[in-house]
A and B are shown apart, each in its own frame.
Chain A
């Protein structure tokens, strides 16, 4: 290798590294930008209904002032699932810009059951992964819960001891905690196993 070739290789390497940092960094920066509540509610569909309703709930207003934003519950944290979700979100852009399916509160209301069922299905399939980013069984102090809640969160209640996995997941009982329930919601849907 001549010194010129050496310099050439070095130059390519430097350019590659800089370009890599710029592109990858830029990509992640943009990704993070789309992962904020401000971005979500920049569409009026999201601000007018889901965000409005969230403000009434414990995930927005509570004693300690800790709160969840849209992506905390609706965007997975592990990178690969996050990318998949972001790609799926292009469908939401399609409906926002092309069909305008939920562009008024009335239209949102008439589609609410279907929209809600999509989210419930996703959360059931992922074992309520996004809930568990914050809510962990290991950190629940059952003594501090009200008796009914403590009973339902006790692993023995679900026979989830000795390595058995619990059959139910957060969303099975906790539907409609951050947004209004859809009209026609059957109360047994929040009461798995017995209904």
Chain B
């Protein structure tokens, strides 16, 4: 019994250590870099600007943002996205209007202005960079 225990413990210790050695060699998305070093800095990317917008991949996908938003501001006081996308200005600015679903509050009431739960645009809508995917991806949107 005692012998078996010792053998098992030794095997376990060996396993753990060899596991650690193997883990050190695993290539992750950050490349074959030791964890103790900083990742290589990725190349700088500009925000993608696409006239007419980027097509959705599936019906209920929040549309992605086809322009830079680094100078836009969303806080308690103002939301500069609404300068163009609000129900009052979208026609003049030739911008897509905020979706109708965004005017409904959690009780199902239709509001005149955007519901506060839909106020923070970037929670769902993201700007795009012209970056290659890190891993090969054959995803095709629903047509």
Contacts and interface: CB of A to CB of B under 8 A. Distances in A.
Interface of A: 57-58, 109, 146-148, 151, 176, 180-183, 185-188, 190-191, 193-195
Contacts of A195: 88-89, 92
Interface centre among B76, B83, B91, B93 (most CB of A within 10 A): B83
A194 B49 contact: no
Interface in B68-117: 71, 73, 75-78, 80, 82-84, 86, 88-89, 91-94
17 contacts: A109-B77, A146-B67, A147-B51, A148-B93, A180-B73, A180-B75, A181-B78, A182-B78, A183-B78, A187-B82, A190-B83, A190-B89, A191-B92, A193-B92, A194-B89, A195-B89, A195-B92
Nearest to B75: A180
A182 to B, nearest CB: 7
Contacts of B82: 187
Given A180-B77, A180-B78, A181-B80, A58 B89 contact: no
Contacts of A182: 77-78
B89 A191 contact: yes
Nearest to B52: A147
A150 to B, nearest CB: 11
Contact of B94 (A148, A181, A187): A148
A23 B13 CA distance: 90
B71 A57 contact: yes
A147 B93 CA distance: 12
Contact of A194 (B76, B78, B86, B92): B92
Contacts of A187: 82-84, 86, 88-89
Contacts of B89: 187-188, 190-191, 194-195
Contacts of A191: 83, 88-89, 92-93
A116 B79 CA distance: 17
Main SS of chain B's interface residues? loop
B79 to A, nearest CB: 9
Contacts of B76: 183
Given A176-B78, A181-B73, A187-B86, 20 more contacts: A57-B71, A146-B49, A146-B67, A148-B93, A151-B94, A176-B80, A180-B75, A181-B78, A181-B80, A182-B77, A183-B77, A183-B78, A185-B78, A186-B88, A187-B84, A190-B89, A191-B83, A191-B92, A193-B92, A194-B89
Contacts of B80: 176, 181
A176 B71 CA distance: 11
A147 B52 CA distance: 10
B69 to A, nearest CB: 13
A187 B83 CA distance: 5
B88 A188 contact: yes
Contacts of A188: 88-89
